[in-house]
Structure 1
Amino acid sequence: MTSNDRETLFYALDAAVMQSQGREFLGSTKVYGEWQPLTAQRFHERRKHQAAGLLALDIGHGDHVALYMENSWDWLVADLAIQSIGAVSVPIYTTMSADSIAYILRHASVKAIFVSPSFADATFRETVQDVASLKTVICLSSRMSIHHQAEALAGPGAEVSLTTEGLETLGAESIKTNPAVVEEAARTVKADDLLTLIYTSGTTGTPKGVMLTHRNVASNLREALKRIPFTMEEGYGQVVLSYLPLTHIFERMICYLYLSFHAKIHFVEDVKEMPVDLQEVKPFMFASVPRLLEKLHAAVLMRGRDLTGAQRKIFDWAMKRLESYDPEHPPKAFSPAGISHKLADRLVYAKIRERFGGKLFGIVSAGAALSPTLFRFMNGIGLWCGQGYGLTETSPVLTIQDPTRMRVGSTGKALDNVALRIAEDGEVQAKAPSITPGYYAQPEQTAEVFTKDGWFKTGDIGRLDDQGNLFITDRKKALLKLSTGKYVAPQPIEDALVQTGFIEQAVVVGNERKFCSALVVPSMDSIRKRLVMDGRLPSLPAPHIEREKIQEFVQSLIDAANHRFSPWETIKQFAILDAPFSIESGELTPTLKVKRSFVAQKYQEVIDQLYGN
């Protein structure tokens, strides 16, 4: 076997963990409000014993093993145990419906599943009992109470049910018989073997199982490491925070990067507790999607609007400076602009950074476009906030910014082993060692995403500037075509509305209509507070008066945003929705992307009323 054949992810990550074994503390997971620590030595032991335990259960090379658990070190232990024996991980979002889980387990012919007690309930048992391929259920010990243990192992439809502790005990006994059992299995794994099957939640249609090989992910990890915004020495041993689902390849890759430079990863329990976790952990770095950063930005603006007198004037002045801040060409230290920025930092920006724990170097954002306003804000207050671009199918990174390439609106330049081109219709297309061989057991869907000359079709509309920076406009399927023949990219319009700080969510509609309209979820409390402060609304108004004033206020926000767009892109009508979009109600994917077709169908009557139908 050549060294190229041995480009497996496990060897790259295991070497990093082994180098950390001298360190007492590897990271922690927050469970029931308490941080549970893990050492590198214990991680390595558990990974090896789980791998041996799986082999003892006749689960090995090429078998599919599902991961249905919360973010945790347990997730990563199981992940590396699976890949070290050549088995294939099938991560499942914890927010997926029972029907979707059953579909994935059957479609992927899953043989074993790691499950958290939080999800091993009656519904789970009913879901898995008819999955013919499923032979083993492994329940996570670290989150088990005695009640949980009795309930979780009450007999799902599998032949074997045990805890992770039981699996590790089984593996330890197996290693006594054959000390090299795991290493022997690891040596059979080749670079082009399947590493993982990731079922994309998608914004439309049935989930597709994206096949990623060891070479796909290992090559992407190797190249992404070249673009981290600090040296390996600067990152070594730093404290980092993880809140995005490991089921998604973005956060999974981020954690692989963390392992590679020996960072101490802390997995949060509930994203709603992020403000508390940031203060407790005081991270050096974390990865995010724009939605969380938008909320943090809105919270800063809301707090600033509560100020009065000189404090309010200073705050407004500091925020105004950020509107033109250029991260690629920041003001020079002793220039007038530089001196003003340093003063704004001392009076305002430093206080904002304290909300992130006070030690944060930076944030990497992906999953959706980071608006120019948010990009300028985050970098302007003294945090490195870069964004990358990629898809599950690309393992995931295609482009990423670094401190020398912080162009506003861009997702950065392609990795060294990635080639990009823009098709005639504006679609971004790519070639790279990290690109999926296709969708599992779906040859027709696989053929649809590749051109005849072998380029992967991303489904995104974008452009490349003369220096190779990529700019993404929107999803190809998200573009609206008005009945006038004009095309509209909804994302920039929606971003403009959310950036007001008074609108939490917005979806622009208008496909095959004469003009654009919007479905809006306002921040009611913030609007009421603002109207009362301005004297436009009494503290206890009649319901019909309050609705009228809120409607007028939202209209003023839309009017202001409309000035930024061409006439055919402006919002002519809008409807205020009573409930926010959520994963549970079906409008959002697990990675918080809007399912536009679902929204259009769910709110069809509301949309028709906007157009007078």
Structure 2
Amino acid sequence: MNSISTVCELVDFGLDHNPGIVASTKRDGVWNDTDATTFRARMRACAAGFHSLGVRSGDRVALHAENSTEWLIIDQALLRLGAASVPIYTTQPEGQIAYIVRDAGVCGYVVSTKELYDGCPADLMSNPDMQWIVGLFGQYTDGMLTMEELIKRGDAQLSETPDLLDQTTSAVSGEDLATLCYTSGTTGDPKGVMLTHTNFTTNAIAVSERLPFDVPAPVLSFLPMSHSLERIATFFYLSKSCPIYFIETTDELLQDLAHVKPAHMTTVPRLLEKVHAGMMAKAAATKGIPGMIARWAFGRAEQFDVENPKPTLLDKLADKLVYSKVRAEPFGGNLEALTSGGAALSPKVQAFINGLGICCGQGYGLTETSPVITLYERDQMRPRSVGRTIRDVEVKIAEDGEILTRGPHIMRGYYNNPEATAETIAEDGWLHTGDIGELDKDGHLYITDRKKQLFKLSTGKYIAPVPIEVALASNALIEHAVVIGPEFKFCSALIVTDAAYVESSFGTDPDEDVLRAKVQDIIDQVNQTLPPHEQVKKFHLITEPFTIDGGELTPTLKVRRKNVFARYEKEIKALYTSS
């Protein structure tokens, strides 16, 4: 596979070796399987259909849809023309959609549902480069093509020019643009990250050398493919002939795990935190000897040493009595590995999952790095580490502690933004990640915080808020924690409670004093692990959730700190003026 230079070649390799299901999407409670022959036929027809609409090498096409087999087919079709998709999150606000469409200069727009189309700017077609719109599952406005109509156009095109796609695909090179992926924009307008075929292929192949599960095997996908983490995962899955099972929501995750019996899935820390909290709560509520055994076993799992994972006799007993049943029932029985990314994973939660007998580690990267820079290794994990560099990737720590990286994973640059590109990528090829971290003697990387999020108290002490926030939010009661304190004498926090957990644990009309007392207990426990200047002295309780529409969260659910500070300016001031 080292001779592969384009995503088309990478995926074709996997399709050639896949005798069964390529992908399956759960829609309205029903799984819709697509085999390799059907996948390839629909992909080719869509590519020819796009060609008949005027799509050519270098063009950009917006792709606004939930994870699905159709998402994959559209993306692969565009790649075979030398065109690039511009993924748009299903949660993207209308204003950002308008900005992305205009900035990217897309020639067409693919949208999955009427609901998503209705959330698009009303003047979508007035953009100067926009020529057509395709609806994946129907026609949502006059003049819109459906995917089935696109396929019919493509079939007609291929009957006239059978070698069309052989010509266009062979013309695609590793340096061609594969996607224009807009960052979530925590500090301003989104920036269009230009990623090439070489960026993706080298990253996917290097990742395939590291992930600890046997392929081909079924995998579960629920993180948005608009995000580069799930995007690179799908390229890897396709190249290894792994059937991909897509779900649009995690509301029925346990049932989906039982059906799919996946060997691997990528996830975010918050989901793992909820799994951990749910299991601990169930054990606490179980009476008699079964409850005692479950609490004992889960307590051992929380103490599991990921750095020295040698099971003792007691661990083996706990596995026989509890862990093996957990792996079989909630997780489907075949889950070998969970890869966590997007935010820091609590060491206790990581220990717990590994203690259950499921390999769980972290990776690190950015949209600008295709995205993986470092990734865990089954036999080389360390608490809080995000792993070591994957093949052909370099990392070093600058004098100010910033993580720098260089290699074939580095983006071409920001689209239409040479100034931002020059600020991010030095002339010698080193990309400034904006993250603060450190390397140990064996090359394991540890992330401390975002460079822009570090702040200084009026006492002169520097604070890295993210590790404190991760520790607080590892409790199921807390959905988000935002540590504050620049230019003040001490740290405070805005605490957003998890609405679902509050309702299940405290009822639909909880007593705020009870909630505050519980939150204070959590803060007290975390403070015991922190030096005095990092301890949270006061907090403001927020029971309304942060949302994308409200401006507190990005489409990737990261906190927009600037917006949050502005919205809660009065409450923050009160924390430092009250006695």
TM-score of the aligned structures, taking structure 2 as reference length? 0.95
Q: CA deviation at 1:365?
A: 0.9
Distance change in 2, residues 1:453/1:524 (3 Å):
closer
Asked if 2 retains the 8 angstrom alpha-carbon contact of 1:300 and 1:352, the reply is no
Q: CA deviation at 1:454?
A: 2.6
C-alpha separation in 2, matches of 1:377 and 1:109? 47
Tell me which residue corresponds to 2:132: 136
Asked if 1 retains the 8 angstrom alpha-carbon contact of 2:52 and 2:157, the reply is yes
Tell me which residue corresponds to 1:118: 114
Give SS of 1:126's match. coil
Which residue of the other structure, out of 2, 7, 31, is the alignment partner of 2:27? 31
Tell me which residue corresponds to 2:365: 390
Give SS of 2:335's match. coil
Tell me which residue corresponds to 2:98: 102
Matched residue type, 2:355: G
Q: CA deviation at 1:352?
A: 3.0
Asked if 1 retains the 8 angstrom alpha-carbon contact of 2:97 and 2:121, the reply is no
Matched residue type, 2:452: K
Which residue of the other structure, out of 319, 333, 338, is the alignment partner of 1:345? 319
Matched residue type, 1:339: L
Q: CA deviation at 1:404?
A: 2.0
Which residue of the other structure, out of 281, 305, 315, is the alignment partner of 1:326? 305
Tell me which residue corresponds to 2:535: 570
Q: CA deviation at 1:470?
A: 0.6
C-alpha separation in 2, matches of 1:269 and 1:214? 27
Q: CA deviation at 1:271?
A: 2.4
C-alpha separation in 1, matches of 2:503 and 2:102? 50
Matched residue type, 2:442: Q
Asked if 2 retains the 8 angstrom alpha-carbon contact of 1:153 and 1:162, the reply is no
Which residue of the other structure, out of 511, 534, 541, is the alignment partner of 2:486? 511
Deviations 1:350-383 (Å, cap 9, x if unpaired)? 3433212222111111111212111111111110
Please identify, of 108-117 and 353-362, the stretch whose mean Cα deviation from structure 2 is larger.
Answer: 353-362
Please identify, of 446-455 and 463-472, the stretch whose mean Cα deviation from structure 2 is larger.
Answer: 446-455
Give SS of 1:463's match. strand
C-alpha separation in 2, matches of 1:72 and 1:540? 35
Deviations 1:501-532 (Å, cap 9, x if unpaired)? 3323221111222111111123577678878x
Asked if 2 retains the 8 angstrom alpha-carbon contact of 1:413 and 1:470, the reply is yes
Asked if 1 retains the 8 angstrom alpha-carbon contact of 2:78 and 2:84, the reply is yes
Q: CA deviation at 1:312?
A: 4.0
Which residue of the other structure, out of 411, 416, 425, is the alignment partner of 2:400? 425
1:105-254 matches, within 5 Å, as: 105-119=101-115, 121-124=117-120, 126-140=122-136, 143-144=137-138, 149=139, 152-155=140-143, 161-230=144-213, 234-236=214-216, 238-254=217-233
C-alpha separation in 1, matches of 2:528 and 2:430? 39
Tell me which residue corresponds to 2:548: 583
Asked if 2 retains the 8 angstrom alpha-carbon contact of 1:301 and 1:501, the reply is no
Asked if 2 retains the 8 angstrom alpha-carbon contact of 1:102 and 1:131, the reply is no
C-alpha separation in 1, matches of 2:521 and 2:173? 60
Tell me which residue corresponds to 2:247: 268
Tell me which residue corresponds to 1:534: none
Distance change in 2, residues 1:524/1:594 (3 Å):
closer
Asked if 1:282 is matched to 2:278, the reply is: no
Deviations 1:207-258 (Å, cap 9, x if unpaired)? 000001111111111211111213xxx311x211100000011001111111
Give SS of 2:126's match. coil
C-alpha separation in 2, matches of 1:202 and 1:569? 28
C-alpha separation in 2, matches of 1:523 and 1:162? 41
Deviations 1:395-451 (Å, cap 9, x if unpaired)? 011110121211111111101200110001111000011101210000111111123
Asked if 2 retains the 8 angstrom alpha-carbon contact of 1:33 and 1:269, the reply is no
Q: CA RMSD in A?
A: 2.1
C-alpha separation in 2, matches of 1:279 and 1:519? 38
Matched residue type, 1:596: R
Which residue of the other structure, out of 48, 63, 68, is the alignment partner of 1:67? 63
C-alpha separation in 1, matches of 2:410 and 2:34? 34
C-alpha separation in 2, matches of 1:471 and 1:48? 44
Distance change in 2, residues 1:560/1:122 (3 Å):
closer
Aligned length: 576
Asked if 1:90 is matched to 2:86, the reply is: yes
C-alpha separation in 2, matches of 1:125 and 1:610? 40
Which sections of structure 1, spanning at least 5 residues, go unmatched?
156-160, 333-337, 532-538
Distance change in 2, residues 1:418/1:427 (3 Å):
same
Q: CA deviation at 1:390?
A: 0.6
Asked if 2 retains the 8 angstrom alpha-carbon contact of 1:208 and 1:439, the reply is yes
Tell me which residue corresponds to 2:17: 19
Give SS of 2:317's match. helix
Q: CA deviation at 1:128?
A: 0.6
Q: CA deviation at 1:471?
A: 0.7
Asked if 2 retains the 8 angstrom alpha-carbon contact of 1:395 and 1:434, the reply is yes
Matched residue type, 2:92: M
Tell me which residue corresponds to 2:374: 399
C-alpha separation in 2, matches of 1:17 and 1:73? 14
Identical aligned residues as a percent: 44
Asked if 1 retains the 8 angstrom alpha-carbon contact of 2:499 and 2:545, the reply is no
C-alpha separation in 2, matches of 1:215 and 1:540? 52
Asked if 1 retains the 8 angstrom alpha-carbon contact of 2:302 and 2:349, the reply is no
Asked if 1 retains the 8 angstrom alpha-carbon contact of 2:24 and 2:246, the reply is yes
Asked if 1:298 is matched to 2:277, the reply is: yes
Matched residue type, 2:267: S
Which residue of the other structure, out of 293, 296, 310, is the alignment partner of 1:314? 293
Q: CA deviation at 1:467?
A: 0.5
Give SS of 2:120's match. helix
Which residue of the other structure, out of 467, 481, 484, is the alignment partner of 1:492? 467
Matched residue type, 2:157: S
Asked if 1:56 is matched to 2:52, the reply is: yes
Distance change in 2, residues 1:526/1:311 (3 Å):
farther
Q: CA deviation at 1:345?
A: 1.9
Distance change in 2, residues 1:123/1:224 (3 Å):
closer
Matched residue type, 1:153: T
Q: CA deviation at 1:56?
A: 1.4
Give SS of 2:409's match. coil
Q: CA deviation at 1:164?
A: 1.2
Q: CA deviation at 1:61?
A: 0.5
Asked if 2 retains the 8 angstrom alpha-carbon contact of 1:429 and 1:457, the reply is yes
Which sections of structure 2, spanning at least 5 residues, go unmatched?
none
Give SS of 1:169's match. helix
Tell me which residue corresponds to 2:348: 373
Asked if 2 retains the 8 angstrom alpha-carbon contact of 1:399 and 1:414, the reply is yes
Asked if 1 retains the 8 angstrom alpha-carbon contact of 2:93 and 2:548, the reply is no
C-alpha separation in 2, matches of 1:404 and 1:300? 26
TM-score of the aligned structures, taking structure 1 as reference length? 0.90
Distance change in 2, residues 1:120/1:414 (3 Å):
closer
Distance change in 2, residues 1:439/1:125 (3 Å):
closer
C-alpha separation in 2, matches of 1:112 and 1:180? 24
Deviations 1:325-353 (Å, cap 9, x if unpaired)? 11231234xxxxx1111122233323433
Matched residue type, 2:460: G
